[in-house]
């Protein structure tokens, strides 16, 4: 585990700190098409702060580092992948954590639901191309949103006076196969209520990626 949130320093007390993960993957066939269900449960033992304890002590001035001690954080993930035809596939994921202590890595999300589809370009004579569309709804726990609204800082968000709404993201892309080794992808994202703030956005993001395998 990180010694502190989103740092490059690791807590080397290996028998007191760490992440423990259990994963079960089930593969099956539905109407002759393959599918995959993945279930993950995890538990972190980390030196971390508490949102609620920080809020409850005005003398800390929203400095969550003042409440850091050994704490447990837990959550789970459900991930589904299902082919509808040889060229069309669906995916979905639900994830959740208890949302009581600061996030140690990545970004500020306590619950997330995402759904989407991908389609190969066989019908328009481009079998190696893929077009995809997906959406996600992200949320913060009550403790986490109260902390941010009071002016606390998360991993990547926090500016006080939070007008909270769930963050919503729509993404679409087209992956164009230049040859067997190179693929160029054009991507568009629309983010509504970015950083969970209804007073911001919406934001449009355009991007391009070049991927090579040799």
State residue 8's pLDDT score: 73
* Tokens read off for 20: 């423990």
Convert the pLDDT of each residue in 30-61 to its tens digit: 989 999 999 999 999 988 999 999 999 999 99
Q: Tell me, what CATH number does 55's domain have?
A: 2.40.160.180
Q: Confirm whether 3 is domain-assigned.
A: no
Q: What pLDDT is recorded for position 152?
A: 92
Mean predicted confidence (pLDDT) in 119-147: 96
Domain membership flag for residue 12: no
pTM of the model: 0.87
What residue numbers bound the domain in which 91 lies?
A: 18-212
pLDDT per residue over 109-118, tens digit each?
999 999 999 9
**Residue in 198, 192, 113 with CA at minimum distance from that of residue 164:** 198
Strand 126-139 to strand 167-177: parallel, antiparallel, or no bridges (unpaired)? antiparallel
Residue 142 Cα distances to 76, 146, 166, 173, 196, angstroms: 18, 6, 12, 33, 12
Decide if 171 is inside a domain.
yes
Strand 126-139 to 111-121 pairing: antiparallel
Number of domains in the chain: 1
Structural domain contains residue 9? no
Q: What is the DSSP letter of 37?
A: E
CB 76 within 8 A of CB 98: no
Q: Is residue 11 assigned to a domain?
A: no
Tens digits of per-residue pLDDT, 191-206? 999 999 999 989 999 9
Is 202 part of any domain? yes
Q: Could you give phi then psi for residue 103, rounded to 5 degrees?
A: -75, 130
Give the DSSP letter string of 136-193.
EEEE--HHHHHHHHTT---SS---SS--B--EEEEEEEEEEESSSSEEEEEEEEEEES
């Amino acid at each position: 585990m990180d010694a502190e949130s989103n740092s490059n320093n690791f807590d080397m007390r290996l028998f007191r700190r760490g992440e423990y993960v259990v994963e079960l993957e089930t593969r099956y066939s539905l109407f002759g098409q393959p599918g995959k269900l993945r279930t993950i449960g995890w538990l972190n033992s980390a030196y971390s702060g508490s949102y609620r304890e920080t809020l409850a002590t005005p003398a800390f001035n929203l400095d969550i580092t003042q409440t850091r001690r050994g704490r447990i954080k837990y959550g789970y993930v459900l991930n589904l992948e299902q082919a509808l035809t040889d060229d069309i596939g669906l995916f979905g994921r639900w994830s959740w954590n208890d949302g009581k202590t600061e996030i140690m890595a990545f970004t500020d999300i306590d619950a997330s639901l995402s759904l989407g589809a991908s389609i190969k370009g066989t019908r328009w004579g481009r079998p190696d191309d893929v077009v995809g569309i997906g959406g996600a709804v992200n949320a913060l726990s009550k403790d986490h949103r109260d902390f941010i609204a009071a002016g606390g800082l998360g991993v990547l968000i926090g500016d006080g006076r939070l007008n909270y709404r769930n963050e919503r993201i729509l993404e679409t892309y087209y992956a164009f196969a230049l040859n067997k080794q190179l693929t160029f992808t054009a991507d568009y994202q629309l983010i509504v209520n970015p950083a969970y703030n209804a007073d911001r956005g919406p934001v449009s993001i355009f991007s391009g990626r070049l991927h090579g395998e040799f």
